[in-house]
């Protein structure tokens, strides 16, 4: 069974259908990027995976729970297993790097010790490990509002890891970063993916990073999946199809890639059971 499975899924806002009838299955441990033009619904899809955007139609199963019928209590437990990294970092600026990362484990701590920010020796060691994973241990006691964008993003990743999530959702984690910091952040996410087996689903605008770091790429256009495959399959015609302004398909030209929408359904099912 897929870690995440969407069937004929339509997501959106009140009457606005943004993602329209998609089928998708994501396995544990995948590092997947979602690409597509601005406004196509990448964030809507990503936030749909932790039930922040509404399911208008179809089914969405995440970590064994059906999101179209999930109860409040189950949703809270599910969200604890899903770390989210936002483009704007969402850190508490006046708190230290250590305290921001530690806040990721609050749901695993008793209320009183959480309130007083009391940590056991093991928890200190755990937080230190996460700081090392993202390479921010030198700044452990610095206030987060005094860090650079790349450093803040690494703190946000460490906080997500501290949650001990099964899935990390990253919405354009590198869009505001310079190339060196961007590479650093992608390597950090890859490291979390490989070291802890966390499934990572990330929206990206940078195709070169999607090619280099991700095991699978989903291309969205017109609310639908127009590409689902390995980064190697992103030839020029496929990229043009993904970023095409209209919903209509471009001819594949002299490229050998088969556009996703032209693959037989059985082949797609076999590729992503
Ligand atoms: N809260 C909201 N209420 C109503 N419509 C929304 C809301 N958030 C997004 N939309 C609309 O949904 C569509 C998809 O938006 P979304 O943010 O998912 O796109 P995106 O692919 O992530 O774009 P970008 O690459 O610019 O981040 C857009 O038309 C947008 O205006
Ligand atoms: Mg977005």
Written as one string, the DSSP assignment of the chain is --SEEEEEEEEEETTEEEEEEEEEEE-TT-EEEEE--TTSSHHHHHHHTTT-SEEEEEEEEETTEETTT--HHHHHHHHHTEEEE-TT----TTSBHHHHHHGGGGGGS-HHHHHTT---HHHHHHHHHHHHHHT-GGGTTSBGGGS-HHHHHHHHHHHHHHT--SEEEEESTTTTS-HHHHHHHHHHHHHHHHHH--EEEEE-S-HHHHHHH-SEEEEEETTEEEEEE-GGG--HHHHHHHT-SSSSPPP-TT--PPPGGGS-HHHHHHH--
User: Is it the case that residue 77 has pLDDT exceeding 60?
Assistant: yes
112 or 45: which carries more pLDDT confidence?
A: 45
| Per-residue pLDDT, 271 | 43
In this structure, which long-range contacts are made by residues 269-273, counting pairs with CB atoms below 8 Å and at least 24 apart in sequence? Answer: 271/228, 271/229, 272/2, 272/24, 272/25, 272/27, 272/228, 273/2, 273/25
pLDDT band at residue 125 under the 50/70/90 scheme: very high
| Ligand 1 pocket test, candidate residues 14, 17, 22, 42, most atoms within 8 A of CB | 42
- Asked if pLDDT for residue 75 goes beyond 80, the answer is yes
Q: Is the pLDDT of residue 220 over 50?
A: yes
pLDDT attached to residue 184: 87
Q: What mean pLDDT do residues 203-217 have?
A: 94
Report CA(184)–ligand 2 centroid distance (Å).
21
Pocket test for ligand 1, best of 11, 14, 33, 43 (most atoms within 8 A of CB): 43
Q: What is the arithmetic mean of pLDDT over 251-272? A: 40
Tokens of 169: 């959702």
Please give the model's pTM, rounded to 2 decimal places: 0.85
Cα 45 to middle of ligand 1, angstroms: 10
What is the CA(35)–ligand 2 centre distance, in A?
Answer: 10
Residue 212: predicted pLDDT: 94
pLDDT, average across residues 206-222: 94
State residue 176's pLDDT score: 76
Q: Among 84-98, 203-217, 237-251, where is mean pLDDT lowest?
A: 237-251
pLDDT, mean over the chain: 85
Task: Look up residue 69 and give its two tokens.
Answer: 């019928």
Rounded distance from Cα 42 to ligand 2 centre (Å):
5
Domain-wise residue ranges, the chain: 25-53+166-273, 91-164
Q: Which pLDDT does position 38 carry in this prediction?
A: 92
Range from 67-81, 85-99, 249-263 that averages highest in pLDDT: 67-81
Q: Which atom of ligand 1 is nearest to the CA of 47?
A: 18
pLDDT confidence of residue 70: 94
Backbone angles phi, psi at 21, to 5 degrees: 65, 50
Fold for 25-53+166-273, please state it: Rossmann fold (3.40.50)
Q: Give φ, ψ of 11 to 5 degrees.
A: -120, 150
What's the whole-number mean pLDDT along residues 127-136?
A: 90
């Amino acid at each position: 069974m897929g870690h995440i499975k969407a069937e004929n899924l339509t997501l959106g806002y009140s009457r606005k259908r943004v993602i329209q009838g998609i089928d998708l299955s994501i396995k544990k441990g995948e590092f997947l990027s979602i690409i597509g033009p601005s406004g196509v619904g990448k964030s809507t899809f990503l936030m749909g995976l932790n039930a922040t955007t509404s399911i208008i139609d179809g089914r969405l199963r995440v970590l064994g729970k059906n999101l179209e019928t999930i109860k409040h209590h189950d949703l809270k437990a599910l969200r604890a297993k899903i770390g989210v990294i936002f483009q704007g970092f969402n850190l508490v600026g006046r708190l230290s790097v250590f305290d921001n990362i530690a806040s990721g484990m609050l749901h695993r701590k008793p209320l009183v010790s959480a309130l007083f920010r009391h940590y056991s020796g093991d928890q200190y060691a755990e937080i230190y490990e996460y700081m090392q994973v993202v390479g921010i241990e030198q700044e452990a006691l610095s206030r987060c509002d005094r860090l650079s964008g790349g450093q803040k993003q690494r703190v946000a990743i460490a906080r997500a890891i501290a949650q001990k999530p099964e899935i990390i959702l990253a919405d354009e984690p590198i869009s505001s970063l310079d190339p060196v910091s961007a590479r650093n952040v992608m390597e950090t996410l890859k490291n979390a993916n490989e070291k802890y087996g966390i499934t990572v689903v990330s929206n990206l605008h940078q195709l070169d990073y999607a090619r280099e770091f991700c095991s699978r790429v989903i291309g969205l256009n017109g609310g639908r999946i127009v590409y689902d495959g390995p980064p190697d399959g992103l030839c020029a015609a496929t990229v043009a199809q993904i970023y095409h302004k209209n919903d209509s398909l471009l001819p594949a030209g002299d490229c050998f890639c088969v556009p996703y929408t032209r693959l037989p359904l059985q082949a797609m099912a076999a590729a992503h059971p």
